[in-house]
Structure 1
Amino acid sequence: MPVIVLEASDLTSPLSLVRMWALLSGCLTFSLVASLVPSELTSDTHQPSFRILCMFTWCLFFILTLLIHVVNIIQFHSLVPISWKNLTVTVAALATLMTLSATVTFPWAVMCHEGAWPRPIAASLASCLTFLAYAIEAYLIRNQTKDQKGYMASVPGLLKVLQLWGGCEMIVLVVEQVRGALVKVGLAAVGWQLWVSGAGYALCLLMSLGTVMVVLGDCAGRCPLPFDRLLAGFSLTGVLLYVVATLLCFTRVLELRKRDQDLTDRKTGPTLVVMEAVMASITLLAYTVDLAFSIKLLRDRSHA
């Protein structure tokens, strides 16, 4: 198939303009963050895991958006061994959620304990613009015609993206809590509840990532098991694991409220546990709704 370059009207389409907006604001964001000097960061390197996740998010989706934009310009879709319809909406939806998290957590992790400076504030504003660009891109792709949309643009597909985002955030929350416990007290301070929750989050993240990769690679037909039944099994497993993790989170929140802690722990420890409980509840809701969709699909096919 010959390579066809888009016409000028296609380059100025809303989707292309929004992607260029995301590229510019994303580049500005990680450039500002990379240029921060030590004096503009907190003296106690507060929440380094969140800062690393924010930087990784901005750089990763800048690269992915750039590749998608270039491939879209030169019409290289047929040579890409990935479902193009599913890839674009997956990147846009996941980037929306991840940049939203980065926009919220970066000011909290970097600025709130030491004051505010021009470049961190500018980076936060640029991250907010990046989030808006990806949100508009996801909306535009979601409202395309049925022939232009893939499975990942449907409600079950977007729920898979939400589950993947929730898993990434949960892993970072667990890592940060373990790091804080090791720095302050030692490995013995890490309770068994955190290890159980972390194992459940990791397993669910692997299932969500595997599902998304199978859909992007158009490998559902080559799956040795019926793919719809496999998705239902993954959703059920995710519901069970996140129910356990959510209950453990709320148990730890109650324990921390009863325990006498110093001022630093009151600011840091309970905050991370509450964030984990909120994120676990959101992800549990996503798995529950996804399970309902999977059961409905299986029931419709059994009656067909």
Structure 2
Amino acid sequence: MPVILGEIKVLTRPLSVVRICELFSTCLAFSLEASLESESIDRSAFKHFCTFTWCFFFVLTLLILLVDFIQFQSIIPLSWKNLPITVATLAALMGLTSSVGFACFVVVRWEDAKAVAVTVCSCLAFLAYASEVHLIRLQSREQRGYMASAPGLLKVFQVFGGCVMLLLLSELEPHKLSNWYSWVSVGMKLLCFFMSLGTVLVMLGDCAGRCPLPFDRLLAGFCLLAVLLYMAITVLCVTEILEISKTRVTFTKLTDSIPFIETIVACLILLTYTVDLAFSVKLLCDRA
């Protein structure tokens, strides 16, 4: 089929301008990060997380910009109302994490102008993606999809929180996963992560109407199960902190602070699931 190019004014719209800024800032971020000397940056899982974030969302943003310009939305087997807002929200969250983490773990320890430039570019990318989320949410209800609503944004945050939990897990030393409750906690985190990820994928594929069960009730059940699981995860995290506090007074390594970060993230995810459950219950009550 022939390629149909859009008008040049498509690239001058506020959304397109913001996406071009996203491309520019993310490209600069991973390009400068790749040029850093190997001895001046910690080759940890977090470094790979930052690089993946900038490269992955650069590619996705480029594809979204091209599809919007060429006007191929109708042949994409995804919900175009939900895809851009989902990508922008997840990119803003992961970009913020990369910016703060890169500044704390790299710039503070190494006096390198390129490392500072990487952090600045990452911050600019975060601001650009946050601006895109704001612009999409300003659109009319007919132009927005489910993922632009409050429950949809909460589900994106839940997926993001699951990614952060897995990242923190990869930074732990192997002997710290020897306890039985550590493996139980990992299993519960993975279950919640896959439930939220599955929900987002169903919305992106516009497959909610094909579900053999009432999808709104299924979402409410998922949220209730996730709230119960994350209540248990939070209790396990607090218990681990109390045990560490009894046996250790000072924290000399970066990995020693991971249980505290994990507890904070678990509390935030528990809060999002609780609010999401409230939205689901309200929706069921309104339909009843």
CA distance in 1, matches of 2:228, 2:177: 26
CA-based RMSD? 1.6
1:234-253 to structure 2, matched below 5 A, reads 234-253=222-241
Contact 2:64 2:84 (C-alpha < 8 Å) held by counterparts: yes
CA distance in 2, matches of 1:269, 1:84: 41
CA distance in 2, matches of 1:238, 1:110: 35
Residue 66 (1) aligns with residue 62 (2): yes
Q: Which runs of 5+ in 2 are unaligned?
A: none
Contact 1:256 1:270 (C-alpha < 8 Å) held by counterparts: no
Measured after TM superposition, the shift of residue 189 of structure 1 is 6.1
Residue 258 (1) aligns with residue 266 (2): no
Letter aligned with residue 67 of structure 1: L
Residue 233 (1) aligns with residue 228 (2): no
Structure 2 match to 1:211: 199
Residue 142 (1) aligns with residue 137 (2): yes
SS at match of 1:84: coil
Structure 2 match to 1:102: 98
Between 1:248-257 and 1:90-99, the stretch displaced more is 248-257
CA distance in 1, matches of 2:275, 2:265: 16
CA distance in 2, matches of 1:143, 1:189: 45
1:204-234 deviations in Å (ceiling 9; x for gaps): 1111110011011111111111110110111
Contact 2:231 2:270 (C-alpha < 8 Å) held by counterparts: yes
CA distance in 2, matches of 1:133, 1:188: 39
Measured after TM superposition, the shift of residue 188 of structure 1 is 6.6
Percent identity, aligned pairs only, is 53
Measured after TM superposition, the shift of residue 269 of structure 1 is 3.6
1:1-57 deviations in Å (ceiling 9; x for gaps): 975422222211110000000000000001111111123224xx4xx1111111111
Structure 2 match to 1:23: 23
1:68-91 deviations in Å (ceiling 9; x for gaps): 000000000001000001001100
Residues 207 and 158 of structure 1: CA distance in aligned 2, closer, same or farther (over 3 Å):
same
Q: Which runs of 5+ in 1 are unaligned?
A: none
* Structure 1 stretches of at least 4 aligned residues deviating more than 6 Å after TM superposition: none
Measured after TM superposition, the shift of residue 107 of structure 1 is 2.4
Structure 1 match to 2:37: 37
Task: Name the TM-score, length of structure 1 as normaliser.
Answer: 0.90
1:90-125 deviations in Å (ceiling 9; x for gaps): 00111110101111112223343x332111111011
Residues 269 and 191 of structure 1: CA distance in aligned 2, closer, same or farther (over 3 Å):
farther
Structure 2 match to 1:281: 267
Structure 1 match to 2:257: 271
Letter aligned with residue 203 of structure 1: L
Structure 2 match to 1:295: 281
CA distance in 2, matches of 1:294, 1:166: 20
SS at match of 1:146: coil
Structure 2 match to 1:13: 13
Structure 1 match to 2:126: 131
CA distance in 2, matches of 1:199, 1:86: 29
CA distance in 2, matches of 1:269, 1:115: 19
Structure 2 match to 1:223: 211
CA distance in 2, matches of 1:254, 1:16: 50
Structure 2 match to 1:93: 89
Residue 175 (1) aligns with residue 196 (2): no
Measured after TM superposition, the shift of residue 170 of structure 1 is 0.7
CA distance in 2, matches of 1:142, 1:224: 31
Residues 19 and 96 of structure 1: CA distance in aligned 2, closer, same or farther (over 3 Å):
same
Contact 1:156 1:293 (C-alpha < 8 Å) held by counterparts: yes
Measured after TM superposition, the shift of residue 301 of structure 1 is 1.2
Letter aligned with residue 283 of structure 1: I
Task: Name the TM-score, length of structure 2 as normaliser.
Answer: 0.95
